[in-house]
Amino acid sequence: MPHWGTRFFVYTGIPNNHETNSLPIFSTFSQSIYNTIQSTVRKPKLPSYKRKNVLISELSLHKFKDCMLKDKVVALSIRAWVILTKFYHKIKAQFVKAKAYPTYKKVLFYISAFLVFLFTLLLLININFLWLFGSSPWIGDLMNPKMNISSELYSEDGKLLGKYFVENRTPVTYEEINPFLIKTLIATEDIRFYHHIGVDFKGTFAAISSTLQGDRRGGSTITQQLVKNLFKTRADYSKGLLGYIPGVNVFIYKIKEWSTALQIELFYNKQEILTLYFNTVSFGSNTHGIKTAATTFFKKSPAALSMQECALLIGMLKAPSSYSPIRHPKRALERRNVVFDQLEKYKYITTMQHDSLVKLPITLNFNTDENNDGNASYVRNAVNNFLRDWLKENDIDLYSDGLIIHTTINSSMQKYAEEAMAKQMKMLQRRFYDHWQGKNPWADEKGVDIPNFIEDAAKQTSRYKTLAKHFDNNPDSIDRHMNLPSRMRVFTWNGEKDTTFSPMDSIRYYKKILHAGLVSMEPNEGYIRAWVGDINYEYFKFDHVKQSRRQPGSLFKAYVYAAAMNAGYGPCDQMTDQPVTINYVENGVDKSWSPNNADCAFSGKTMTLKYAFAKSINSIAVQLTQKVSPKTVIEYAHKMGITTPLVEVPSVGLGSSDVSLYEIVNSYCTMTNGGFKVEPILVTKIENNKGEVIFEAKPKKTQVLTPVTAFYMLELLKAGLTEYGATTQALFGYNLFRGNTMDFGGKTGTSSNQSDGWFIGVSPNLVTGTWVGAEARAIHFKTTATGEGCKTALPIYGYYMEKVVKDDKFPQYRGRFPKVKLDIPKDYSCHTRYVPKDTTAVLSDSTLVDSLTVQ
């Protein structure tokens, strides 16, 4: 058998000259180490550890700092092994020596040795020596324990709108916890809680004894359970190399928990430990902490819990899933009664109380607090996006840092907006189905289905892409699975419906659904009071307030008229409604454009700009665009609040570029607040989990229109209700005007083929926008009479404002616009009067037309 030096070099790979005469790839330093070993290990009279001792002394003579990294590792390995071997032999010698001690001294020696061993083991575990034991909590972790706390979102009137969380947890103080809840916990989990120092050795030995007898029971104290909850000591990140060995891993976990529990008892008093425990423990059903559990299961605060509710919650701690009163009510009842047994056993309740309580049934008021609960979740997503950059700059986690976020949303106005949208869209969807009479709405102007419309839509879905990858783009396999029916729940306006659909059936169904968006903003400060991104957040996550961009149609004429008013035009200036042809060059190609009016006719009449705006006459808007230039129109759109890039083409004034509802509403605020562009505000203030204010929003305003231009534009918006046949006059069908004491204005918008319907309504101190359309632009009503913004989007505004002006909490949204205090250079009070056609007159062109008279 080869001697020690040979074995060592075989193991490390350093050449042994007894076996190899020349291996030049190894350094001279390695060779010198070898020679030292050879000369040392040939001293047979020395014990092996002393031979290594001589070796290490001789090695130190070499120029260690000048050697290669590989050689350093070899030398340091030898040194470490020698030191450990030397230490082992010294310890062994002490134990041999101890055999001769007197009994009392021997006992003291072994106790001391055990304590030293225990201390050394704890030290090695805490420092995760050689990555054997996994990470452990440090002093800083104990002094400032980190737990995931949900951030809460509040309306401006103090109502909880929702939460952001990884673990749904809201901490409480000790004073907020029902005293009986504390007694129940102690009686059930740790009756000696006030008498031990974090580890109950008596309870531990009793648990071991019971387990050996076949009655498995836990021996962890409340403090140890807190360690598990707070520091996740049994999670993978806390598992070292030895944590993968069965039996050894449990021993290491326990040592960690005991050690940390003892440290926690040093830093915290019993009340603080109980508070931390109740704030960290999980009750299942995505509830963490006692406050969330009390709210979820009973809609109560922890202080208001009854005795039976306390017992039910504490009973669930043993196994939240197994004893869930939602999934396993019978088991939960049995477990609750076991808790009552414990309370009686330790004299916290009398026998009479016990007998009465165990007869009570479980009564819940269960409500899940999900991240996507209700349409206010569109607000949650909007706030998330609103704060994204700020959170990143300040290294704050919205989902775990326990922020209190105060928004500008008013809970009542948000509710009114959601109700208005539901009311209109339910009726409109039914009308849309009737309109197409069972035919597919993805059809061309001749009523023929657009080829491969659904198939192309299917290719954009994640399911199709997954199948394509799985089946290597084999069309037959993909088609088979895409047409394979299965049970699913789908959205309907009469509630969720269980049905059997294939993925292709589902696509066909959902493509026919109409969508909507609403946002309501105060024009002077930019405060957003209501935000509804679509008809149902659970099924449609896409936000049609800010994410969606669609053609705004005639809404864009406001920027044309604003540019014209600023260039010297006035509301009572006149132009002729006549055909217009514009020749232009786009991307090097000569083009010609001849726009039509909405009714595909031109009256040939001269009319005021006020009337043309109110009636949404395309030909007048196009002429004005040419006079001020498309570039100027785009400049005014951007100045007033449009942030989306716009294409400089003659049709820009008719809304040919896509924009968001959010941008449109913000820009219309400029026309009602004296010409100021305001920065929209959704969040007013943020507090951290200590109650300190860490963010506060301030209104930002910039003058972008002259006060005179802004006044003219407000007059044009009001004309939508005063000029004959104006598109906004449908508002008279809603209970808004309260006699003659209310002012309103507005503008409708309809894109090509009625793909999009829009309405912007203005009233004192409030600007609200609505949009309606299908997911795909090819799906729409066939006629303007059914699909224009006046018919689709305006009713949402009407239903919404009916409730707002009726609510006495909102007097600021009633009344009239402020009277003008400016020197207005041009007339603005003109009014176009309708004069019926004379059926007895003979016209030279044989065409009978109504006439318009300006007063």
DSSP for 562-586, written as a single string? HHHHHTT--TT-EEE-----EEEEE
Contact 31, 25 (CB under 8 A): no
14-28, 238-252, 535-549, 600-614 — which is least confidently predicted? 14-28
Is 90 exceeded by the pLDDT of residue 433? yes
Tens of pLDDT, residues 678-713 = 999 999 999 999 899 999 999 999 999 999 999 999
pLDDT tens readout for residues 96-122: 888 888 888 888 888 888 888 878 877
**pLDDT the model gives residue 833:** 78
pLDDT of residue 632: 97
Q: Please give the pLDDT value at position 652.
A: 95
Mean pLDDT, rounded, for 309-337: 95
What b/e string do you get for 770-787 counting C-beta neighbours within 10 Å, with b at 16 or more? Answer: bbbbbbeeebbbeebebb
Q: What is the pLDDT of residue 729?
A: 94
Question: What's the confidence (pLDDT) of residue 848?
Answer: 33
pLDDT tens, position by position, 442-451:
988 777 899 9
User: Whole-prediction pTM value?
Assistant: 0.78
The per-residue pLDDT for 127 is 75
Residue 675: band (very low, low, confident or very high) from pLDDT cuts 50, 70, 90: very high
Average pLDDT value for residue range 165-174: 89
What is the secondary structure of 813-824 as a DSSP string?
A: GSS-PPPP-S--
What's the pLDDT at 32?
Answer: 55
**Is residue 339 over pLDDT 70?**
yes
In the predicted structure, residue 560 carries a pLDDT above the cut 70: yes
Average pLDDT for 580-590: 89
| Position with higher pLDDT, 334 vs 240 | 334
Record the tokens describing residue 439, joined without a space: 């035919």
Q: DSSP assignment of 649-702, as one string? A: SGGGGGT-S-B-HHHHHHHHHTTTTTSEEE--BSEEEEE-TTS-EEEE----EE
The answer to whether 506 and 655 have CB atoms below 8 angstroms apart is: no
**Per-residue confidence (pLDDT) for residue 649, from 0 to 100:** 93
Buried b or exposed e, range 187-219, using 16+ CB within 10 angstroms: bbbbeebeebebbbeebbeebeeeeeeeeeeeb
Q: Is the pLDDT of residue 229 over 90?
A: no
- 590 has pLDDT over 70: yes
Residue 629 has pLDDT above 90, yes or no: yes
pLDDT value of residue 855: 55
Q: How far apart are CA 348 and CA 346, in angstroms?
A: 6
Tokens of 724: 């004959």
pLDDT of residue 19 exceeding 50, the answer is: no
Tell me the C-alpha distance between 854 and 613, whole Å: 15
Tell me the C-alpha distance between 281 and 230, whole Å.
Answer: 8
Q: State the CB neighbour count (10 A cutoff) for residue 377.
A: 20
> Binning pLDDT at 50, 70 and 90, where does residue 61 land?
very low
Pairwise CA distance, residues 344 & 56, whole Å: 69
Does residue 285 carry a pLDDT above 70? Answer: yes
pLDDT value of residue 263: 85
**pLDDT for the residue 45:** 47
How do residues 453-511 score in pLDDT, each as one tens digit?
999 999 999 999 999 999 999 999 999 999 999 999 999 999 999 999 999 999 999 99
pLDDT the model gives residue 67: 59
The answer, yes or no, to whether residue 133 has pLDDT greater than 90, is: no
The yes-or-no verdict on residue 202 having pLDDT over 80 is: no
Burial (CB count within 10 angstroms: exposed 0-12, middle 13-18, buried 19+), residue 348: middle
3-state DSSP call for residue 360? coil
Q: What is the model's pLDDT at position 91? A: 84
Tokens 């809840």 belong to 181
Mean pLDDT of 185-195: 93
Q: Percent of the chain having pLDDT more than 70? A: 84
What pLDDT is stored for residue 14 in this prediction? 42
User: What's the pLDDT at 598?
Assistant: 87
Domain spans, the chain = 4-100, 169-357, 442-508
Alpha-carbon span 781 to 795, nearest angstrom:
16
List CB contacts of 774: < 8 A, sequence separation 6 or more: 441, 511, 512, 513, 514, 515, 755, 780
Query: pLDDT at residue 141 above 80?
Result: no
> Averaged over 22-31, what is the pLDDT?
45
Topology of the domain comprising 169-357: Penicillin binding protein transpeptidase fold (1.10.3810)
pLDDT band at 665 (very low <50, low <70, confident <90, very high): very high
Q: Is the pLDDT of residue 283 over 70?
A: yes
Q: Of 247-251, 263-267, 396-400, 449-453, which gets the smallest average pLDDT? A: 247-251
- Under the banding of pLDDT at 50, 70 and 90, the label for residue 6 is very low
